[in-house]
């Protein structure tokens, strides 16, 4: 391999940083530099550094036949029309957002339920994002559409320039297929806006000084009336700047509405207020509880910790309920809808016209329970569907008890079912064709033992009868944070680029995630963060002990919080891995609260400005645990210039420091894409091709 481009990139970065070089080996002699100049996202000098490092990576990773073959195949798969057009029912129509080779940024379209059930339904285009981008001369990325019940004709469309979290909001008329002149409209910002009725909305945005939290989200909630300037909107609530965000929204139970204002004081704690006749009343519920549903006049609340009330204890993870008026007046006698257990956790709750749909995980296997109100009680029945994969509730609405279910697994393409709300009968609506050869592949669930004795599960996808010789290229994926559960999923990209070619894929369910409820997540919070890293290392070691692989053939991958996991993994145990794909990562854990949305994550990681907390954080902060003498795997870092959630400075500074310490790395920063890393299918195909080119280079 020719490493000359990487050496040139390292030299150029050092010159830009204004550092002196040792004549002996051209390695920067100031490894303790803070590299903060790379935090200037659009700075010309920083972007020159980005371009040089991108080109250095491209010269190697694009310089082989595998890259081009992968890119072409990826783009064909991503643009394939043989995909399920997932749709949301609003009134008489099903709405879908669709991208393909002719619609790079996508079209928003609709059809009827009768038409949707056909093999090739006819669609009516409502909004063409590519055409809009051309007209506006903007690189628009569609970020969602919030439409007003019950006719769903007026919608609030969110559009991002380049894929960032900050969006422009415009009111849209579905019937006229046009934006509303003089309608509700917000300039680019991280806003929070939602309908109250046709002529009023809750709005939080950048109103000027003091209107945004330290995390960069709205601190002020206002009531904005149609036809009036935003400056005249009525203030309803203002949070402390230390809060994560504040906003308002409406829950509906038939014709009954419940206007709510929230103040997310931390990532996991919230003050909730009911707004009635202009009066705010704080709900007397635990600060870490979540409101999950409003149905049959009752409010459903999920607990994240035990709650003792009037001598009765409601357990962590359970869902409890009571009449909404009793909850507001603090006179509620709560009942338990469902409790969690050591193996079972509640993932989500959806509502239909009269039923509750509770999605649960039991040892990371999906089930859906349907609760109906009979004889004064809520009674449940499991939906009869395969539980060996991932089952997801979709397309619920206020006017019907029918709903959709999607089933998938690592080896089973997506299948979409319509469930009859009365009989519970499933009807197959759509099924995706297999997009890679899986006939000789198997999925297994194993358990590793972590350092403290905790049993940690993981899924393994591999060739049936695989030879246990330690030579199998293996990719271990992890996240382990924010109560996010990793579940089986079907990926044509993973299948064609990795599994078909003999690679082994591992999905880890380490602590910090939500696979076993709030306790599994809380076990790795703050000063217990190392538990997630120990779990990940235990799985890696278990793979080696089973002789599935060895460090020379073991690669790891993760993004965002998973990117932090990758940074901690290769700095803690560089001997375990030979490839690391570290995507949109947090890495400088001393400054993370000062960069973009970072302050909102202090509830997860702790505040590094507190000396006692920094004493712990610095033990794993990847940026601070690099040294020149350790041999690291050749890491591949990816990020996006337009990522306004996790600052690209994390990846930039890590790369610059590693280069200055004499370590070879690969770096790719996409100029668009936001936190997702890519803004359209062509960019996604390119990113995946780079990643798999790298993995096969390192692990074969």
Q: What share of the chain is helix, strand, coil (3-state, %, to 5)?
A: 25, 35, 40
- Indicate which residue of 560, 621, 640, 693 is catalytic: 560
Report which DSSP code applies to 185: E
H/E run at residue 617:
helix 611-617
- Indicate which residue of 347, 600, 675, 693 is catalytic: 675
Query: With b meaning 16 or more CB within 10 Å and e meaning fewer, what string describes 286-318?
Result: bebbbbbbbbbebbbbbbbbebeeeeeebebbb
Report which DSSP code applies to 525: S
Rg (CA), the chain: 26
Alpha carbon dihedral 267, 273, 274, 276, in 10-degree steps, equals -140
As given in the structure block, the two tokens for residue 234 are 């009525």
What is the Cα 269 distance to its own chain's centre? 19
Told to judge if 560 belongs to the known catalytic residues of this protein, a careful annotator would answer yes
> Which is nearest to 574 in space by CA: 510, 635, 506, 509?
635
SS3 at position 569: helix
Distance CA 303, CA 149 (A): 29
- Helical segments of 411-548, H only: 492-494, 518-522, 529-545
Told to judge if 485 belongs to the known catalytic residues of this protein, a careful annotator would answer no
As given in the structure block, the two tokens for residue 91 are 């009134």
What is the Cα 92 distance to its own chain's centre? 31
- Helical segments of 467-586, H only: 492-494, 518-522, 529-545, 561-572
Provide the annotated active-site residues: 560, 675
């Amino acid at each position: 391999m020719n490493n000359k481009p990487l050496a040139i990139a390292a030299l150029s970065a050092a010159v830009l940083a204004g550092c002196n070089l040792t004549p002996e080996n051209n390695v920067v002699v100031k490894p303790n530099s803070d590299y903060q100049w790379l935090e200037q996202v659009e700075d010309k000098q920083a972007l020159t550094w980005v371009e040089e490092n991108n080109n250095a990576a491209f010269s190697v990773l694009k310089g082989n036949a595998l890259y081009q073959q992968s890119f072409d195949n990826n783009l064909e798969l991503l643009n394939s029309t043989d995909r399920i057009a997932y749709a949301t029912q609003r009134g008489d129509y099903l709405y879908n957002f669709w991208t393909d080779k002719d619609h790079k940024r996508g079209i928003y379209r609709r059809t009827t339920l009768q038409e949707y059930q056909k093999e090739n339904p006819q669609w009516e285009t409502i909004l063409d994002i590519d055409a809009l981008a051309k007209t506006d001369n903007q690189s628009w990325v569609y970020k969602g559409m919030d439409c007003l019940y019950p006719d769903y004709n007026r919608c609030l469309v969110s559009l991002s320039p380049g894929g960032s979290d900050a969006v422009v909001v415009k009111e849209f008329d579905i019937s006229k297929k046009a934006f509303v002149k003089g309608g509700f409209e917000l300039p680019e910002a991280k806003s929070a806006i939602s309908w109250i009725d046709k002529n009023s909305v809750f709005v939080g945005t950048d109103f000027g000084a003091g209107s945004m939290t330290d995390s960069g989200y709205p601190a002020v909630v206002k009531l904005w009336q149609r036809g009036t300037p935003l400056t005249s909107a009525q203030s309803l609530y203002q949070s402390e700047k230390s809060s994560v965000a504040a906003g308002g929204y409406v829950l509906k139970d038939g014709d009954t509405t419940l206007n709510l204002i929230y103040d997310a004081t931390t990532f996991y704690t919230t003050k909730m207020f009911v707004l009635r006749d202009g009066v705010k009343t704080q709900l007397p519920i635990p600060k870490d509880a979540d409101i999950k549903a409003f149905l049959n006049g009752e409010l459903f609340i999920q607990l994240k910790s035990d709650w003792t009330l009037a001598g009765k204890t409601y357990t962590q993870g359970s869902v409890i309920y009571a009449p909404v008026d009793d909850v507001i007046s603090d006179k509620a006698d709560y009942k338990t809808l469902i409790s969690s257990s050591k193996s079972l956790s509640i993932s989500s709750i959806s509502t239909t016209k009269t039923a509750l749909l509770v999605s649960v995980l039991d040892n990371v296997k999906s089930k859906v329970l349907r609760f109906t109100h009979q004889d004064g009680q809520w009674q449940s029945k499991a939906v009869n569907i395969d539980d060996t994969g991932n089952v997801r509730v979709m397309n619920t609405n206020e006017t019907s008890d029918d709903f959709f279910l999607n089933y998938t697994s690592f080896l089973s393409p997506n299948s979409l079912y319509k469930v009859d709300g009365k009989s519970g009968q499933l009807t197959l609506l759509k099924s995706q064709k297999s997009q890679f050869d899986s006939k000789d592949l198997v999925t297994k669930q194993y358990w590793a033992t972590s350092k403290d004795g905790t049993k940690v599960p993981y899924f393994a996808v591999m060739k049936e009868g695989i030879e246990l010789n330690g030579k199998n290229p293996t990719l271990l994926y992890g996240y382990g944070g924010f109560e996010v559960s990793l579940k089986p999923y079907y990926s044509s990209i993973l299948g064609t680029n990795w599994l078909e070619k003999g690679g082994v894929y591992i999905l880890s369910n380490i602590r910090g995630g939500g696979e076993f409820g709030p306790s599994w997540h809380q076990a790795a919070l703050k000063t217990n963060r190392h538990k997630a890293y120990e779990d990940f290392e235990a799985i890696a070691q278990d793979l080696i002990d089973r002789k599935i692989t060895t460090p020379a053939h073991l690669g790891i991958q993760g993004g965002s919080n998973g990117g932090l996991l990758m940074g901690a993994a290769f700095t803690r145990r560089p001997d375990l891995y030979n490839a690391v794909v570290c995507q949109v990562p947090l890495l400088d854990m001393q400054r993370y609260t000062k960069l973009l949305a970072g302050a909102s994550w202090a509830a997860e990681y702790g505040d590094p400005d507190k000396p006692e907390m920094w004493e712990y954080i610095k033990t794993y902060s990847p940026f601070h645990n690099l040294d020149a003498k350790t041999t690291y795997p050749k890491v591949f870092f990816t990020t996006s210039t337009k990522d306004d959630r996790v600052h690209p400075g994390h990846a930039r500074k890590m790369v610059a420091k590693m280069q200055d310490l004499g370590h070879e790395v690969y770096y790719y920063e996409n100029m668009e894409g936001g936190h997702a890393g890519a803004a359209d299918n062509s960019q996604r195909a390119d990113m995946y091709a780079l990643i798999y080119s790298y993995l096969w280079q390192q692990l074969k």
